[in-house]
Structure 1
Amino acid sequence: MTRYLAGAAIALTLASPALAQRDAPVTARVDKLESEMRAVQRKVFPGGAGMMVEPQIAPSAPTPVEAAGVPASGAITDLTARVTSLEQQLASMTGQIEQNEYRLRQLEGQFADYRKATDAKLAAPPAASPAAPVGGPDVTVPEAPEPAGTPASGAAVAKPSSGDAAEDGYVYGFRLWEAKRYGEAVTALKKVVADFPKHRRASYAQNLIGRAYLDDGKPSLASIAFYDNYKKFPDGERAPDSLYYLGSALVKLDKAADACKVYGELTDVYGATISAKMKADVARARIAAKCK
């Protein structure tokens, strides 16, 4: 965008003095457009120096510079039209950004309220019952010993050792999840997220934490884990999966309306990149949740 506008400015300086006087309003619009576009770029790419939004309109074929004294109204008209198109594109882009930010703020506010209510329920003392487990929601209650001769469900799970601690930690947590040892899997996966937040497996681990909670019959904790993955690692490889499973967890919590909003967020944010299978899964989930 900056290169395009700079080129337009150079073309203007090559015109006659009379043309320079007549294009003063256009030059002012170009300066204003440059300033606004830089502001949008800073919003879209915070900290991303050098990243530019390429114009969606291509400049027309170069117009021969007319001799001094020859009316240049055609060149000014062409440039004015191109600048007007850029202004319209900028306005559309800015409006879309504002809509996305508003929708995300709404989702964050709703989920913050839901998370606060869930934390309050978890913090409340359990009803007196001899079968009630002691400890928090992550404490694994020991199972009764199995009869002799029965394969042990708690058989040792091999820990990989590839030299990549983040990869090994995730694979170990995955194996524990596969073995249905959900409490241990959550502990192992949380360590991966805490110790290696910049590793690509952090997104995988945080998503699998939610899966472990969901499979363990804890949709409230699962929904928090899935939302945290989307919030902390929006560019992670498992962020779309977490939004999908967040919808599933909300359905289990009888919050179908909220699930529909999550499915809409998934489609809006990742619709162009998710697989055809996930698109089909989301479509089926929306029907099951009776989304409008």
Structure 2
Amino acid sequence: MASKDLKVRSFAMVLFFTAPFALAEAQQASGGLSPSAAADLLFQLETLQQEVQSLRGQLENQGHELKLMKESQRDRYIDLDKRISILMSASANEPKYASTPAQSAGRPVAAETVVTRNVPSVSSLVSSPLAPVNLQPLTAKSQQAYNEAYNLIPQRKFDEAEVALTKFVKDYPNNTLTGNGYYWLGEVKLVQGKSQEAIDAFSTVIKNFPGHNKEQDSLYKLGTVTDQLGDTVKAKSYLQDVIRRFPDSKAAKLAAGYLSKIK
């Protein structure tokens, strides 16, 4: 069908440019045209002119649409690159863990732990239990599983990291590092463009691990992602909650900066 339209339009273009010459030759050969024949040729000429103008308009529209598509693809690439850069920067600042929770070189291994404390509920947007689940201490096996999953992020193996982190939080639902697992799972899903799944992961940190040191970062991420999805009201509530509950944190500063840009 497209090929047929192209042929018709090409034929119309040819007629448009050749009609005046054909009309002149016919007039010279016959010594003149009858009024009806001349009127018919003029009508055809006007019709061809209108068709050419229509084709020009369609061409301009298609050019404009192509320009918009290129700009959209460029913006998406820039946004993805920015997300990856942020993720890599945050990953570089994450505390590193030893392969075992035992003592190393005569000193206890530093491990990120969950501080359980009484905190207010996360506004009306997220319904949290009053206390986190009973967390199990680290074991050599659980810590190694977390390390292997987490170390895939700096290598930009996001698909593999998603699988490994998903398995980790499933295998160790009540582990000291489970909250970290859900947070980084959310970050990885964001890089992959899975915004709703990222929201689920960040929300799990808040619902199941209140008081966790990733709670403030998860709240901030919930604010930015919901804003990107178009829910400005909910986004503001999340960001304001970060500032209210964690006023001296880095997440609060980021939330304040982001809030200032929301209309």
Q: Normalising by structure 2, what TM-score?
A: 0.46
- Which has more radius of gyration? 2
